[in-house]
Structure 1
Amino acid sequence: MVESVYSNDNAEANRACRAQTSFKMPKNIRQVGKSNVTKKIYVEDYVMTFARYLAGDDYSSCRIAVLVGQYVKLESGNCLFISGAVEVKNIDAANEIVFTNDHWTQIYEDIKKYFPEYEIVGWFIGGPGYLLEDKEKILKTHLDNFAGQDKTLLTYDNIEKEEAFYLYENGSLCRQEGYYIYYEKNEEMQNYMIDHKQKPSEEAQYDDRVSREIRAVIQNKKGSADEVKSINRLVYAAGTLLAVIILVVGAAILNNYDQMKNMQNTLNALSQNLKEVESVFRTKENQQENTDQNSKKTNEAATDKEGSLNVEVVPGGIKPLEENNEKKEDEKSNDNVADSSANSQKAQKSEQAKNTETADANSEVVISGGVKYYTVKAGDSLAGISYKLYNSANYISVIKELNNIEDENLIYIGQKLIVP
């Protein structure tokens, strides 16, 4: 029976639009050979497993199946996605291949049951290579049952273990240089293979290491989905608990806000008091330090007998010390023979000699007109001056009296003091 299952009219556009609305590009894809640029063929891994299994090791005949899938138009070109395969049973592939009404009835029932969302996109024939060399028989079968440029033919040589895809171009079936294998759960194909007592796993009679590894990854992802959901639930529960704890703590903080504010004010007051106490202690320490420095300077001035003093002599009548007067009276009383005028001249000469000796001995004192002057310098005190000039503190009261000083600590640098 010859039946056209493909048309280039509006049905093609309708199928393309319907396929595109539910199409989602697979994530795991492997390229085999060199792909056609304008027409790309994608076949699901379970379909290839089923085709190779179907061909088996029978080198006397061929096995046939119908391929189902969808057409998708992408920016890179037209793509054919083969997602399933239905075996055509009880067909004589050794002679002329004929699809009867019973064959098509069974094919459409299987497609409706296992692949309701897909359409027929080509067919498969597998067996020994010498049976696949009859190109005319295969071309006639293709044109009689799968007419159209988009329908594909998949062949598998079970002797050479080699598969190939063909497209109808320029009146002949042209072999494609390559194709793509994609990996999905494909539960439809798995159910079909299980129902027909064929295992959808690597137990098929071929060894494809890459396919096994990719399938293992997909199964692991499927198995870990429940773990991910459990982890998500646990994270959600932990987040909810944390939110409740935060709300409780926040409420407690709001209720105790006034107490916390009062505590903060108290801490600020204590901090201010500590600063004031610290300031008072620092002031006392500075005063004590200044006092110690002044005492140190006074002691240094009292013990220091070296240095330079500027002494200026100004005219004035200052009476000599009682010690000198007593000496003069003794000299006058003892000198009865000398003339009074001669005694007076001698006394003046003696006094000038003494003054000269004092000026020479103490370079800090200047004699002017018979009066001794001492110029105050930094670090001096009346006690220190008395010790410097006379090596005694007995002259403090005399210096105060000569200079009308009431407080012995009130002298200044550069002040000229009359000294005895």
Structure 2
Amino acid sequence: MERQIPKNVRQIGNVSDSPKIYVEDYVDTFFAQLSEKSEKAKAPVGAFLVGDIQSGDDEDYVYIYGAIRMHELKMSGNEYVIDEDTWKHAYEDCKQFFEDGEMLGWFVAHPGVPLTPDSSTIKFHKKSFPKKNTVFIMKDPIEKDETYYVHKMNDLMAIGGHYTYYEKNPCMQNYMIASRKKNGAVSPETVEDRAAQDFRDLVRKRGERQKRRKAGGLMYVASASLVLILIIMGVSMVNSFDRMKSVQSTLEALADTSDTVETRETSGSVTAVTSEEQTGDGLVSDDQGAPGEDGQASDGQNTQSEDAQASDGQNVESEDGQTDESGTDSSGGNESAEASDASAAEESGQASLSASQNGSDGVYIVEEGDTLAIISRKMYGDVDHVDAICRMNGIADGNLIYVGQKLLLP
């Protein structure tokens, strides 16, 4: 029956050679026990290898899932000798514990012996295991080194590495339990626990690596999301700050405007000029300034009747130039008119002076008919400062200014 290539494996050495050798973990543990026995006895200890050989399209595979200890491994000079009784017991154990298994090689643990088979060992292997791809394993219990050899091309050729695989192996487990007293192995519970523990440790390490990868991926996603959120919040805060600053500038401009009250002074005099006589009201107009029938005199001005004069409290000159009942000279009216004209001239001069001083203190009050271009030309002699005035006062639209608005000059 064709076997599936094991998935849970551990590579030992360079496995690029052919065939590919897979050794089950219980068998590898059994080899370690035999090496300890050989080291204590200062003598070689051997075992027969049990398994099967399979050929694929491009590769050959050797699966070693059992090992049977040799009852006795003798030495004749530098040659290994396996007697008939040892072969007999090996076949019986193989049939009992590994019913479908095939003995396809041998294992030797020998302290202090070079891990290179001599010609007698190669000859013995060819005679005992003539089939292609049979295996010979040499191990030094003291140095803990081992070498795998494969029978191919009519020679024993070293293999650079092999695989140790993990799976349920009740056949080898039962054999180890039955033979523990004979080969000095540890208790079966300890053997089973070690193999199971090795497998659990391997699975646990893989699980921890996968968890760390998942945790690292989640941390990366969380960090990227947090950075994105912070960027969005920062952009929103900057935009909000710009809006708040614009609103604050507008409110300050409105507050400055509300605090400014425009006042205008008048001269207090009213001058009425008419070109025709008005009749029916008691008023008479004379172009040449002659006195009327009611005794009023006019110097080119319209005068009111006695009733109107009385009500207004004004002085009127009679024909002979005398004053009326109030005793006031008519020249007083001329003086009052001259004072009014002087006051108006003074106000006009003050207004002109204040216009020339507008903006001299760095603050310009918008006048009727002003635009930002006109203000720039007044203050700087050109229109290149319109944008600077807008930035200084937080004005988004240069057309929205009003009379009385205070503008800071850059």
Q: TM-score, normalised by structure 1?
A: 0.44
Q: TM-score, normalised by structure 2?
A: 0.45
- Larger RCO (CA within 8 A; separation ≥ 6): 1
